Amino acid sequence: MAFVAGTGLGGAAGTVLAWQHAREIVEISADLLRREAKISREDRAYRAERELDTLQALRGKRVGEVIESLEDRVDWDVARYSNGAELSEREVALLAALRTYREQNPHEPASPAHASNSSDPADLLASVRILPVFESGAMVGIRVTRIHPGSRWDVLGLRDGDLITAVAGGALDSPDASIELIKAMVSDRPLSLVREAAQRVKLLDAEKRE
């Protein structure tokens, strides 16, 4: 009887630990699912806005705007699928098709009417498109596309599709970080670009750079 009781006690303790471990796994999985769902909703909302803009432009016979928007989307998708992540066969084929299109149809973003190396917030926002990028549910940086020639983004050496992961020593790991990026760009302090990979860069304070 003592043997059975001892076995029962050990089994109960093991069961409690197993349930605690299982609950932790479920909680982690639920958190990941919530994060993915949020990103999915944001992505769907972004696409819906773009589709509405496209429809309105087409109905207004502003075909040039539609073409420019879709050309920008090609650049964005090439950058997205070239980030080193494991791709499905369909995604590999899509990336090949996108690259082939881009090679056959080079894209030169239209310059704004007053493009210059300006630090004015309005000029900065008009001379680039910025988009937060998430990987595995966490923000990893800000993607820049449609960089206008002569803008401060261009002068710093940024290329279309670059992912800025940090600015002036701070990681761009939250949606509010885009504000910090703009603040750094409009400030008078000089910035320098460090390219860590093909399309991953950091913007550092030039005076503090070792």
Tens digits of per-residue pLDDT, 111-137?
544 445 556 676 777 788 888 888 887
How far CA 121 is from CA of 16, 20, 97, 183, in Å, comes to 57, 51, 36, 9
Query: For residue 148, what are the contacts with CB-CB under 8 A and spacing of at least 6?
Result: 109, 110, 111, 112, 115, 126, 127, 128, 154
> Which tokens hold the place of 59?
């109905």
The pLDDT of residue 52: 81
Over range 40-51, report the average pLDDT.
Answer: 70
Domain boundaries, the chain: 1-51, 62-107, 121-205
| Helix, coil or strand: residue 172 | coil
Cα–Cα distance, 141 to 117 (Å, whole number): 23
The pLDDT of residue 6: 43
Q: Between residues 13 and 4, which one has the greater pLDDT?
A: 13
Q: Is the pLDDT of residue 76 over 80?
A: no
pLDDT tens digits, one per residue of 135-181: 887 888 888 888 888 888 888 889 888 999 999 888 988 877 777 88
CB 182 within 8 A of CB 123: no
> Which tokens hold the place of 82?
């070239």
Q: Between residues 14 and 169, which one has the greater pLDDT?
A: 169
Lowest mean pLDDT among 63-67, 129-133, 135-139, 206-210: 206-210
Rg (CA), the chain: 24
CATH 3.40.50 fits 121-205, yes or no: no
Please tell me which of 74-78, 117-121, 199-203 the model is most confident about, judged by mean pLDDT.
199-203
Q: Between residues 158 and 57, which one has the greater pLDDT?
A: 158
Q: Between residues 134 and 29, which one has the greater pLDDT?
A: 134
The pLDDT of residue 31: 66
Cα–Cα distance, 175 to 53 (Å, whole number): 23
Lowest mean pLDDT among 32-41, 61-70, 75-84, 170-179: 32-41
**Cα 37 from chain centre:** 16
Query: For residue 39, what are the contacts with CB-CB under 8 A and spacing of at least 6?
Result: 134, 137
Q: Between residues 3 and 163, which one has the greater pLDDT?
A: 163
